[in-house]
Amino acid sequence: MFTEVDVFIGNNTLIDPDIYQYWLEGYTAQEAARLVREKELAVLGNVHEDLVISDILDQFRTFQLIEKLLPTPTQLSEQWTFQLTPKTQRILIEKYYDFDDSVIREILGKKLSGRNRKDLDDVSDKTNVGIKSCRRQFDNVKRVYKTVEDMSGNLSQNIQTNFLLPKKLAQRYAAVVYIANNRFETSKRKLHYLQFSDFLHCSTEMMANWSCTNPECKYEETAMDIDREFLQNLRELRILVERESLEEHKSLVMRMLKSKVSEKKFSDIDSMFKSLSRNVINIAYGLNHSKEMRDLFLDIVEKIIEPSKSAKLSHPDMILFMRLYKESPQFMESFKT
């Protein structure tokens, strides 16, 4: 009795990026075959569907074998089982570690625990991203975090070096693990309107301006910690909430602002200056305490953004105000002290 089998013999391992993407997204071979036929109808012509499915199944098996190497991407260039060109290696790694903003937004700030991994069904339903893809993204974030959490130096560069990721993707991962490490609250109702891109921007600025860039940091902070000397300096700003200092600070800022905004805007900012200034200083001072630090984004929304929106201040108005606020001589002198 004879059994029919499909046999393929070759040297270089050929990877179809589109089929690889379907596999990453959790499609079955039959579903992927349908998508391939729809996309490549003119090329495939009368090719029988079974042949298309057979080819896709063969590639899916290859992807499953290669996946064992992807937790440590540097192994791809060291192994001899699969003959992969450098370009193919880059495609395999980049696509495997790529992530959906909507999925990461849902897991952002949560503990990377087994319990939260089990709850990814809800994330899958909410984002319309397959559960297999959600689990891969969760596991990748956890893996990157565990690898770089104790490393000093530039966080993005550490990720790029250890996982062979392109610079932009490494920067995105850096933002995610930075938020995870500092346990910032991101899931409260008032923060729901914020997208991943908002947190990406904030974390990038914080890493660039609040972290110790010296490899020999005085307090031995890692790349994911806020510089302790910087935090201690923020404590000195508390003097600006004292009555005399607050009045002087207000006078200096409003004098610089007067010629740059309309009378109506000037009046709006003038009326809210003291309360807004106290909120800014108290948020900065509170970063020295873990609870207040975790609530950073929530405090910014409640104590800066919402009052500013109530006063009908636009985004450009706030950028101008905050720039003059921190550049005023009184503020700079307090910070240096």
- Give the 3-state secondary structure of 199-264: HHHHHHHHHHHHCCCCCCCCCCCCCCCCCHHHHHHHHHHHHHHCHHHHHHHHHHHHHHHHHHCCHH
What pLDDT was estimated at residue 187? 92
Angle between helices 29-39 and 49-67 (to 10 degrees): 120
Token pair listed for 241: 């909430």
Q: Determine the distance from the C-alpha atom of residue 22 to the mean position of all C-alpha atoms in its chain, rounded to a whole number.
A: 24
Q: Looking at residues 76-87, what average pLDDT do you find?
A: 88
Lowest mean pLDDT among 39-48, 190-199, 243-252: 39-48
Of 37, 79, 82, 73, the C-alpha closest to 55 is: 37
Residue type, 180: A
Distance CA 119, CA 335 (A): 44
Mean pLDDT is lowest, of 106-115, 216-225, 250-259, 276-285, for 216-225
**Residue 193 pLDDT:** 95
Answer yes or no: is pLDDT of 8 > 70: no
pLDDT at position 72 is: 94
Q: For residues 277 and 250, is the Cβ–Cβ distance under 8 A?
A: yes
Longest dimension (CA), the chain: 99
The pLDDT of residue 326 is: 81
Give the tokens for residue 164.
Answer: 């062979």
Radius of gyration of the chain from Cα atoms?
26
Q: Which of 106-120, 156-170, 295-309 has the lowest mean pLDDT?
A: 106-120
Name the 3-class secondary structure at 83. Answer: strand
Per-residue pLDDT, 216: 67
Burial class (CB in 10 A: 0-12, 13-18, 19+), 104: buried
Q: For every residue of 253-284, which 3-state class applies, written as one string?
A: HHHHHHHHCCHHHHHHHHHHHHHHHHHHHHHH
pLDDT digits (tens, 9 = 90+) for 233-282: 888 888 888 888 889 888 988 988 888 888 888 898 899 999 999 999 99
259-262 contact pairs (CB < 8 A, 24+): 260/320, 260/324, 261/317, 261/320
Which phi and psi angles does 12 have, rounded to 5°? -70, 140
Which tops the pLDDT comparison, 152 or 120? Answer: 120
Query: Could you tell me what percent of the chain has a pLDDT over 70?
Result: 89
**Packed helices 155-163 and 131-148: angle between N→C axes, nearest 10 degrees:** 120
Q: State residue 11's pLDDT score.
A: 66
